[in-house]
Structure formats: structure tokens, C-alpha cells
Amino acid sequence: MLPDIEFSEDVKKLVDTFYDKVRQDDVIGYIFNEVARVNWPEHLPRMYAFWEFLLLSHDTYRGNPLEKHWPVHEKSPFTAEHFDRWVALFQQSVDELFAGPRAQDAKFRAFAIAETWKPKFSPTYGIGQPGKS
């Protein structure tokens, strides 16, 4: 039986597994490798901190993750397909390594955040809303 996500090391393992998939992925890999040219030794610790904050309620992350995506999106637009792929790779990584309430929570949180963000990256976002055109 697979363990649940319990310790900081578990979060680290999950994030490492996820980004191994992301980096090699045909659908979203290029955004990280070629568009953002992610500095992995800098990015990974921020992602450990982010997920540890969400999943283990440790006081590890402060920041506005959504904002970090705008400059990348401006260079090469994110699509709904990109978000769906991101979530699928994240959920696969969870299922390979963990099972239990926190594992379920991780999968749900990834899905819920992606679904909230997805429309904000749509080319038609804000059209018809007061104050937008």
C-alpha cells in the first residue's frame, strides 16, 4: 500500500517527480525549457515551499503565484490544454507515490487552482465585464 503525504520529504519527492514529467512533456515542457528557461535550482525550492504550505500547512510560502505566470504567458500564451496537461501530470505523480486523504487533497487542490486560473488566461477574459473592454 502507498503511504500518504506526511512529511516535507514527501512533498519534495512529489514535486521532483512532477517536474521530471513536466520537463520531458510534449505539451508543456517547452514552456518551462524554452519560454521561461526555468532556473531549476531556484524554482524547485519555491515549489517545495508552496506545496508544503498548501498540503502540510507549514509556514513556508508567501507570494502571489498567479502573478509569476503573466510574463511567461505574454511570451507564449497558456491554453486550457496546457492547464489540463499540467493537472494530469501532477495527479499522475501523486497516484504513483501516495494514497490517502492528503494525496486526494493534493490532487483536488491542483485541479481547483488550475480551473480558477484557466479562464484568466483565456483571450476573451474580462470581455463584457464592467471596466474591461
Rounded to 5°, the CA angle 44-48-51 comes to 130
Site string for ligand HEM, 39-68 (x = CB under 6 A): x---x--xx--x------------x-x--x
One symbol per residue from 1 to 40: x for binding ligand HEM (CB under 6 A), - otherwise; what is it? ---------------------------x--xx---x-xx-
Question: How many CA within 13 A on the CB side of residue 68?
Answer: 11
- Of 124, 15, 23, 43, whose CA–CA distance to 80 is shortest? 124
CA–CA dist 92, 108 (Å, integer): 12
Kindly state the number of chain residues that form the binding site for ligand HEM, as judged by CB under 6 A: 23
Q: Which CB, 1 or 10, lies closer to ligand HEM? A: 10
Q: Which of 44, 69, 92, 97 is in the footprint of ligand HEM by CB under 6 A?
A: 69
Q: Which of 18, 19, 48, 86 touches ligand HEM (CB under 6 A)?
A: 86
Q: How far is CA 50 from the centre of its chain?
A: 10
* CA of residue 66 relative to chain centroid, distance: 10
Between 81 and 96, CB nearer to ligand HEM: 81
Q: Which residues lie near ligand HEM (CB under 6 A)?
A: 28, 31-32, 36, 38-39, 43, 46-47, 50, 63, 65, 68-69, 72, 78, 82-83, 86, 110, 113-114, 117
